[in-house]
Structure 1
């Protein structure tokens, strides 16, 4: 049944995108048009992955449809974007299910299987998808190596897309691993470094911080390998080294996690429900306030952190690449 709903969304979108390839040649004469092979991959692969995710309970129906739309945009613009998105989704789903029973006892909004809905998909991947669409208009349907001297716009947008996904993956690794790893039941609040219960918004730990770097690196490794594999050998040897992508991705994962934690500690409410023994995100009669205010929810925090990291990532990458060119 999901295939019917997804096709109803993707087929018109894909046909529109194919028509847009002709518009792109007028908007940007240097833009690469959409090839039939890339078009077919962008249409079919996201559907297959969404169906697999439904069976694994990583997505609900609305999340699967949203993932198909995001996946289509990312795949048709740059295969590196798709591999980065796929690595984030697979790795994020794995760590979400890590010690699930322990998370269930401390998290109010815990979902069995870590199912993501359309809101979570767009808040974690929507910024990257919008930047990928800009890449589609400005650069076309092609993979460009990172070279700020020859391809500044393509490099800027590529790093921004990767940085946004590294932020989301780094934050997922940090929260999902840091909240249940180790014997200690407390973390440190990022704003005051006071001891708070694990699962508190804005709570950080050494393991969680290290995990955020690893999460970002996982995404950047996938992006790096795809660029290297699809690039022409002459093009690869004449371009700056691409391996700094892995370091930049790890830094974006770490930075995104820090931004997310700071926003969570200040603009998102955290309280301890004495009746259930869980961390909650809303005030209540039996809830003891820990930190934050009722201004942003978890989805909003993820969205702002993703956008902030996407805007900062190209600057970080530019400074890194100046040492290797």
Structure 2
């Protein structure tokens, strides 16, 4: 109990400092900072490895969002200085994970565990869902932020015809490679702290290393799912007045692709959910 209290205090301190820093750096607005604090505190309070995955996603995606801002400003109709995110965007990328973390806490009281379905299928599925969740989030962000900076002409994932940069569902080779790399970073963030927080049997320890290629695949798959949803259920059109790709119809907007069913947050939420479910089942098979 005393160790758990110390962990919670450390989690609150770290989450407060990071949320404040993110607000000052314009990575989060006020509502996003409060939501980010809550999500981060929950993750770190329950398991340091969960917190490590969240922090790996947050820091790398924030850094890439600010890369090439001058060019992104000319392409993105919804561009915000510093990539400032609000509470809706924070929960779109961390809400499902928080539910999984709380479920994990309720079943294990924060006791760290190796991925081993022979010991517990439920825990393995929950942790697998978390790995898939952040692999998807990181993969989608890296592919979007780096893909838009690529000189390569994006192609719509459903038809493979060339489209303008910033079109929802547009993919590039650079973006796909970035998505896989982003997923592997999440796998490393999960594996490395485990060397210090949990001792596994030799067989189980070696199996844990499969998390890295699995997370790379999850990052790529999550990005592809996001692109398919973006190309079909999210509207993209070119505004002749703003001279940019926009996500809402209008009198000066010529449709490129998609329907106005989901916005960007909705696409993120659905793609994260589907990737989490798929990764959970794969983890049950592998571990």
**Partner residue in 2 for 1:24:** none
**Partner residue in 2 for 1:86:** 55
Structure 2 distance, partners of 1:83, 1:269, is 34
TM-score (norm 2): 0.96
**Partner residue in 1 for 2:184:** 217
Structure 2 distance, partners of 1:293, 1:35, is 48
Residue 263 and residue 34 in structure 1: after superposition, are their counterparts in 2 closer, same or farther (change >3 A)? farther
Q: What is the deviation of 1:310?
A: 0.7
**Partner residue in 2 for 1:132:** 101
Unaligned segments of structure 1, at least 5 residues: 1-20, 22-32
Cα deviations by residue, 1:18-48 (Å, 9 ceiling, x for unpaired): xxx9xxxxxxxxxxx9712112122211111
Residue 34 and residue 118 in structure 1: after superposition, are their counterparts in 2 closer, same or farther (change >3 A)? farther
Whether contact under 8 Å (1:202, 1:261) holds in the other structure is yes
Structure 1 distance, partners of 2:283, 2:173, is 25
3-state SS of paired residue (1:181)? coil
Larger relative contact order, structure 1 or 2 (CA cutoff 8 Å, min sep 6):
2
TM-score (norm 1): 0.85
Q: What is the deviation of 1:317?
A: 2.7
Mapped pair 1:159 → 2:128:
yes
RMSD over equivalenced CA pairs, Å: 1.5
**Partner residue in 1 for 2:195:** 228
**Partner residue in 1 for 2:217:** 251
Mapped pair 1:202 → 2:169:
yes
3-state SS of paired residue (1:163)? helix
Q: What is the deviation of 1:166?
A: 0.9
Deviates further, 219-228 or 90-99: 219-228
Whether contact under 8 Å (2:124, 2:283) holds in the other structure is no
Whether contact under 8 Å (1:274, 1:286) holds in the other structure is yes
3-state SS of paired residue (2:254)? strand
Structure 1 distance, partners of 2:102, 2:177, is 32
Structure 2 distance, partners of 1:106, 1:210, is 22
Whether contact under 8 Å (2:112, 2:197) holds in the other structure is yes
Mapped pair 1:296 → 2:265:
no
**Partner residue in 2 for 1:239:** 204
Runs of 4+ in structure 1 off by over 4 angstroms are: none
Question: How many residue pairs are counted as aligned between the two chains?
Answer: 286
3-state SS of paired residue (1:279)? strand
Q: What is the deviation of 1:319?
A: 3.6
Whether contact under 8 Å (1:147, 1:240) holds in the other structure is no
**Partner residue in 1 for 2:272:** 306
Structure 1 distance, partners of 2:93, 2:53, is 13
3-state SS of paired residue (1:201)? coil
Cα deviations by residue, 1:264-293 (Å, 9 ceiling, x for unpaired): 000000001112211100111111100001
Unaligned segments of structure 2, at least 5 residues: none
